[in-house]
Chain A
Amino acid sequence: MAFTNDQLERYSRHIILKEIGVKGQKRLLNGSVLIVGAGGLGAPVAEYLAAAGVGKIGVVDADCVDLSNLQRQIIHTTQDVGKPKVESAAETMRAINPDVEVHTYQEYLYSGNVMDIIKGYDFVIDGTDNFPAKFLINDACVLTKTAFCHAGVIRFQGQLITYVPGEGPCYRCVFKDPPPKGAVPTCREAGVIGAMVGVIGSLQAMEAVKYLTGAGELLTGSLLTYDALRNKFRKVKLPRDPNCAVCSDHPTITKPIDYEQAACDFDPKNPLN
């Protein structure tokens, strides 16, 4: 594959970097990333990866753009309210970079579709806002031997960790099972600063770029946490759980599981129920 002069110009700031170079840019153009959730985290990931020239980007989200999303989901605009998020996100990504092939999945991820959707992508971004989806993505990635980056954000705090098959812990090694329903508030209940998902989502995009190009080190075996109010980043080393239900040598989970969708049964008319 030879670069056109336009491509040389578009990707010049990458190609100049020793750690990326021509090879790295070709890897990005030949790479594929699936972004689950076209919301706060997914927005910067989708924009940066499209801009970076990741060849194939998939976006999964069943929802439509809501006015309350726009405070943080910067891939959507006021004109997009009411439009499926995957469509709105795809339009922005194609406008940023026509080199990118965008695939949209306007559906909820569940045990019945997760394996098929993940298959065929090099890297997965967990940009979801609920625990059932996070465990589903983890298990499906472990089972399909797909690397992924988990992230979670609430109020002024965020965290992320990257899983690469055979390296370091998976999400389940660290968190075992979803918390009981109602034990942890969702973003809708707790609130979140828009720039928070920008910070953490951008870090996820960075993980995807490093994974695809092979540059630097990934957040495998370490959870990175960010406390915006105290300006504190912390990198916490975490071991693999030798008895992990999904990624150990003797797993008890051998196919994806659907937990109760706590975030979806939230009733906006009765927020305190």
Chain B
Amino acid sequence: MAEISLDQVENRVDITDVVCPVTFVKAKVALEELDPGDLIAVHMNDGEPVQNVPRSIKEEGHQILKLVDNQDGTYDLIVRKGEEE
């Protein structure tokens, strides 16, 4: 499987304008709008968000595909939405 790039991801959510725990909450809300299998790029700041948000998203049953370092203090986490429980 070819490595996925950000251009292939249709959905975006920016969580750089909020702080913990709303970072994860905002990502969770965005994921809820999608269908299982859909991709979304979660735009986040370095530091606490990068340390915690990917783990929390994984615990919710979603698949982490890639963490893109934008080299400007932000990251984009590419996530595939898991099946509904």
Contact status of A12 and B60, CB under 8 A, knowing A5-B17, A21-B32, A23-B32? no
CA distance A12 to B25 in the complex (A): 6
Interface residues of A, dominant DSSP: helix
Q: Which of B22, B24, B25, B28 has the most CB of A within 10 A?
A: B25
How many positions in chain B have a CB within 8 Å of any CB in the partner chain?
11
Which of A8, A21, A23 lies in contact with B22, CB distance below 8 A? A8
The answer to whether B60 touches A8, judged by C-beta atoms less than 8 angstroms apart, is no
Q: Which chain A residues (1-36) contact chain B, with CB distance < 8 Å?
A: 3, 5, 8-9, 11-13, 15-16, 18, 21-23
How many positions in chain A have a CB within 8 Å of any CB in the partner chain?
13
The answer to whether B32 touches A8, judged by C-beta atoms less than 8 angstroms apart, is no
Which of B17, B21, B32 lies in contact with A22, CB distance below 8 A? B32
Interface residues of B, dominant DSSP: helix
The answer to whether A22 touches B28, judged by C-beta atoms less than 8 angstroms apart, is yes
Q: Which residues of A contact B21 (CB under 8 A)?
A: 12-13, 16
CA distance A3 to B13 in the complex (A): 13
CA distance A13 to B18 in the complex (A): 15
Closest to A22 in B: B32
Interface residues of B (CB under 8 A from A): 17-18, 21-22, 24-26, 28-29, 32, 60
21 residue pairs A–B, Cβ–Cβ below 8 Å: A3-B29, A5-B18, A5-B22, A5-B26, A8-B18, A8-B26, A8-B29, A12-B21, A12-B22, A12-B25, A15-B25, A15-B29, A16-B24, A16-B25, A16-B28, A18-B60, A21-B28, A21-B32, A22-B28, A22-B29, A23-B32
